[in-house]
Amino acid sequence: MTGLSRTLCAVFCALAWAAPAAGAEEFRVAAAADGQTLVLADGETLRLAAVRAPEAAHGARWVEAARAA
């Protein structure tokens, strides 16, 4: 497993296991970019704060994420 794969796995696991907050919204991830930015199915971009992923600093290269059914 590459460093980027481990980072993406950690991000998705953290999102999946996080306790839902009051009023939390559900969203679907369409793609992941640079290890700390997610592109949602509706086109919005979500950037995770304080994610250290120097191995993912490779510009605009996109990695396909698993799509929710």
Q: Residue 8 falls within a domain, yes or no?
A: yes
pLDDT in tens, 5-55: 777 777 777 776 665 665 667 778 788 777 778 888 888 888 877 656 555
Give pLDDT, residue 62: 42
Give pLDDT, residue 61: 44
Name the burial class of residue 62, with classes exposed (0-12), middle (13-18) and buried (19+) by CB atoms within 10 angstroms of its CB: exposed
The pTM of the full predicted model, rounded to 2 decimals, is 0.36
Position with higher pLDDT, 42 vs 62? 42
Question: What is the domain range of residue 14?
Answer: 3-64
Residues 6+ apart with CB under 8 A from 31: 38, 39, 62, 63, 64, 65
Q: Residue 69 falls within a domain, yes or no?
A: no
| Model confidence at 58: pLDDT above 70 | no
Q: Residue 46 falls within a domain, yes or no?
A: yes
Q: Are strands 62-64 and 45-47 parallel, antiparallel or unpaired?
A: unpaired
How many domains does one find in the chain? 1
Q: Residue 60 falls within a domain, yes or no?
A: yes
